[in-house]
Amino acid sequence: MAHPTLGRRALLTAAVAAPAAGALAGPAASPAHASGNGGRFDRESPRFTIGVLPDTQYLFDEDRSDPDPVRQTFRFLTGGERESRNIAFMTHLGDVTEHGTQEELALASDTFRQLDGRLPYSVLAGNHDVSGADDQRGDSAYLKAFGPSRYARMSTFRGASPDGYNSHHVIEAGGRRWLVLALDWRVSDQGLRWAQSVIDANRTLPAILTTHDLAWADDTGAAALSQHGQRLWDAFIKRNDQIFLTLNGHYWPSGRTVLKNDAGHDVHVHITNYQDRYYGGAGMVRLYAFDLVRNVIDVETISPWLLERDPDERTPLEAEHLELTGPVDRFSIEIDFDERFAGFARAPRRRPVPPGPSCRAARSRTGGSTPKGSRARRARTARSCPPAPSPAT
């Protein structure tokens, strides 16, 4: 989406041109649980991560395109970080390109091939990717590049709507199966009937709904449903208790809110969009780290492209955008997953696991004791970070 007070390219062209982040990684033909760069995914671990990539349109914009920030993000997601963060999946929130031309989409399609065979993902159409009123628009350059055939070989892919603009995946992670719905930016009534059929066929799966336009936020980060988002909420989201998290782009600034569905349960509504930031977002990715032991989702926002730079050569603006730490970009959501999903799913049996990296790091800072902090943080940590045993004497 273009901001009403800013030119559509001003945010990218005003940035200092940066050196390329490197060549594309070579192809891989690895199984779904491994990556060609050695990053492996453990589907039984109770800790896993989902990557969320919003509006990349200023990086795929006619002759001003620069896919290097996105390429570096993909290297980050599929390399060693995939194993250390146990990355299960990535979802793009639409507006892949600025104009939806065949040339822009061809470049984006080629860039996304870096994920193929390494990390499953979903992509949905934003208003800059397509024209036409809704998902009944017919054929398009977007559909040729990011239609159902693109995902057919992914182990997570479960199908698409007849028009091809809406799809769904099932992720196996944390001893559960999770449904991801990727809906067109203007899903039609037919598309919503299809989405409901997917929910009905997967009644025991917690669901994450991704789309382009659902909520917007004010300058404080407080979010509210857009006009289209209200339609989705009334006709679909609030009626289906399985949907516990929604993710959308389109608007900036980023923001979040919590709404109550018809079952009286929380639905977390998040806006993620960094196109107004340095270098059109610099390939920023939001990482949702699920911890089913601590009953929390830890969220952070980083630019792997800027993190890869030599610190001595970063400009102040680049240093500022390495990682966003405001309350809408770095935060934690406390969810008792078993309790939240009890109305439709049994709690899974989980193997005992050692403390996670954050727990080990916390212990190292505190000499082995449980980390200090706010009451909520201490309570969360205590569930998975008991004091280390005393050494034998």
Do 66 and 197 reside in the same domain of the chain? yes
Q: Is the pLDDT of residue 372 over 70?
A: no
The model's pLDDT over 326-362, given as tens digits with 9 standing for 90+, comes to 999 999 999 999 999 999 999 887 666 666 555 544 4
Across the chain, what does the average pLDDT equal?
Answer: 86
Q: Which of 155-169, 218-232, 360-374 has the lowest mean pLDDT?
A: 360-374
Give the rounded percent of residues in the chain with a pLDDT score beyond 90.
77
Do 333 and 359 reside in the same domain of the chain? no
Do 253 and 383 reside in the same domain of the chain? no
Angstrom distances, CA of residue 319 to CA of 13, 16, 304, 324, 328: 18, 13, 12, 10, 19
Q: Is the pLDDT of residue 319 over 80?
A: yes
Helices of type H across the chain = 10-13, 68-78, 80-84, 102-112, 141-146, 189-201, 227-232, 304-307, 316-320, 337-340, 357-366, 375-384
Q: Is 346 a domain residue?
A: no
Q: Is 1 a domain residue?
A: no
Do 229 and 378 reside in the same domain of the chain? no
Q: What is the pLDDT of residue 162?
A: 98
Sign of CA dihedral 305, 306, 312, 314: positive
Q: What is the pLDDT of residue 354?
A: 62
Do 206 and 111 reside in the same domain of the chain? yes
Q: What is the pLDDT of residue 351?
A: 64
Do 334 and 362 reside in the same domain of the chain? no
Domain that holds residue 313: 10-17+31-340
Q: Is 26 a domain residue?
A: no
Do 244 and 325 reside in the same domain of the chain? yes
The model's pLDDT over 51-108, given as tens digits with 9 standing for 90+, comes to 999 999 999 999 999 999 999 999 999 999 999 999 999 999 999 999 999 999 999 9
Q: Is 365 a domain residue?
A: yes
From CA 343, how far away is CA 341, in angstroms rounded?
Answer: 6
Do 254 and 194 reside in the same domain of the chain? yes
Do 262 and 365 reside in the same domain of the chain? no
Q: Which of 122-136, 276-290, 336-350 has the lowest mean pLDDT?
A: 336-350
Do 374 and 294 reside in the same domain of the chain? no
Mean pLDDT of 366-371: 42
Q: Which amino acid is at 298?
A: D
Rounded to the nearest 10 degrees, how much is the dihedral formed by the CA atoms of 6, 12, 15, 21? 160
Do 319 and 371 reside in the same domain of the chain? no
The model's pLDDT over 150-186, given as tens digits with 9 standing for 90+, comes to 999 999 999 999 999 999 999 999 999 999 999 999 9
Residue 314: count other Cβ atoms within 10 Å of its Cβ: 16
Higher pLDDT pick, 5 / 146: 146
From CA 353, how far away is CA 175, in angstroms rounded?
Answer: 12
DSSP string, 240-291: -TTEEEEEE-SSSS-EEEEEE-TTS-EEEEEE---TTSGGGGTT-EEEEEEE
Structural domain count, the chain:
2
Do 334 and 358 reside in the same domain of the chain? no
User: Where does a domain end: 298, 314, 340?
Assistant: 340
Helix (H, G, I), strand (E, B) or coil at 74: helix
Structure tokens at 305: 């492209």
Q: What is the pLDDT of residue 215?
A: 98
Are 105 and 56 a contacting pair, CB within 8 Å? no
Beta bridge partners of 258: 268
Report residue 389's pLDDT band, with 50, 70 and 90 as the boundaries: very low
Report residue 40's pLDDT band, with 50, 70 and 90 as the boundaries: confident
Q: What is the pLDDT of residue 5?
A: 36
Q: Is 256 a domain residue?
A: yes
Q: Is 325 a domain residue?
A: yes
Q: What is the pLDDT of residue 156?
A: 98
Report residue 366's pLDDT band, with 50, 70 and 90 as the boundaries: very low
Q: What is the pLDDT of residue 307?
A: 97
Q: What is the pLDDT of residue 39?
A: 72
Q: Is 5 a domain residue?
A: no
Q: What is the CATH number of the domain that holds 208?
A: 3.60.21.10
Q: What is the pLDDT of residue 238?
A: 98
Q: Is 240 a domain residue?
A: yes
